[in-house]
A = this chain, B = another copy of it.
Amino acid sequence: MLDIALVGCGGMMPLPNRYLSSALLRYEGRMMLIDCGEGTQVSVKQVGWGFKNIDCICITHFHADHVAGLPGLLLTIGSSGREEPITIVGPQGVEHVVRSLCVIAPEIQYPINFIELPYRGESNIPIPMTSYKLSAIPANHNCPCFAYRIDIKRTGKFDLAAAQKLPIPRKYWGFLQRGDEIEHDGRIYTPEMVLGAGRKGLAVSYCTDSRPPRGLASFVKNSDIFICEGHYGEDEKLDKAKSHKHMIFSEAAKIAKDGEVKELWLTHFSPAMPNPEIFIENARAIFENSHVGYDRMVATIGFERD
């Protein structure tokens, strides 16, 4: 099962009743955070999944409302007893930004690895991670910014008949099923030999801050949940959205529709929009399964039953 928590749904500045946009994903007990504005650690605490197992933090871009909470969060992760490295992914310069912010956090003991993404083109950038597939695509903001996608792959179904035909002991089947290669009697056996065609996995996509970027609908294709900025609710705010490089609800819904995602969660609301839910029909008219995000909106998604 993959758990998703919308840690916060605000844009620009934290408000008394709204944390800044951030998402936390948990799979098999390990976690990944996307963006970390001022106060994010407080909402993460309220989510209740702990801090120690946050292995990766993806930063969309370097505006304060997406990164200012990093030193506090990294210190709190340290206080949780973490000693293993953390990976921080972001636009080029992310190491410099994080190290500058951490001038007030010299007591962080665990290592931090950085992955800096090249900001060009429209193609997916694969990011090496162990337990899931992570990729990014450039967004279209007033500074280098990335949208992210997390895929939990699912192997094909175990093919008992095929396994029984192989001249290897039954005790090796489990290894093949889990994806390991086996050498037996001088011959290599691969997982594909006992697995059927790959089955649909799980996918979550996240895009803020941005105008509708070229290629985004393909990038988020078939996501179970697509978390997308809707900085303004009203269609009348389109010009403002264009000049501030943000989206209106209906633009996010159009991407959700074109990308054939299952569900759209709107986020990164303007501080001047205290009640974004009153504009939800602007999204639903285009993509029905649109939802106005709220702090600590949580979902659990699992593989489809065979």
Contacts and interface: CB of A to CB of B under 8 A. Distances in A.
A97 B101 CA distance: 9
A41 B68 CA distance: 12
Within the oligomer, what is the number of copies of this chain?
A: 2
B38 A41 contact: yes
B13 A64 contact: no
A42 interface: yes
A243 B243 CA distance: 54
A182 to B, nearest CB: 48
B72 A38 contact: yes
Contact of A15 (B14, B42, B68, B101): B42
Interface in A39-76: 39, 41-42, 45-46, 62-65, 67-69, 71-72, 75-76
Contacts of A104: 62-64, 67-68, 97, 101
A1 to B, nearest CB: 26
A interface secondary structure, majority: helix
A218 interface: no
A69 B38 contact: yes
Contacts of A63: 104
A100 to B, nearest CB: 4
A16 interface: yes
Interface in A89-121: 96-97, 100-101, 103-105
A105 B64 CA distance: 6
Given A64-B104, A104-B67, A79 B42 contact: no
Nearest to A17: B42
B38 A16 contact: no
Contacts of A101: 100-101, 103-104
Contacts of A72: 13-14, 37-38, 64-65, 68
Contact of A39 (B39, B62, B76, B105): B39
Contacts of A41: 13-14, 38
Contacts of A13: 41, 72, 75-76, 79
5 closest A-B pairs by CB: A100-B103, A38-B72, A100-B100, A64-B104, A39-B39
14 contacts: A13-B76, A13-B79, A16-B42, A16-B45, A16-B46, A38-B41, A38-B69, A62-B103, A64-B104, A64-B105, A67-B104, A68-B71, A101-B101, A101-B104
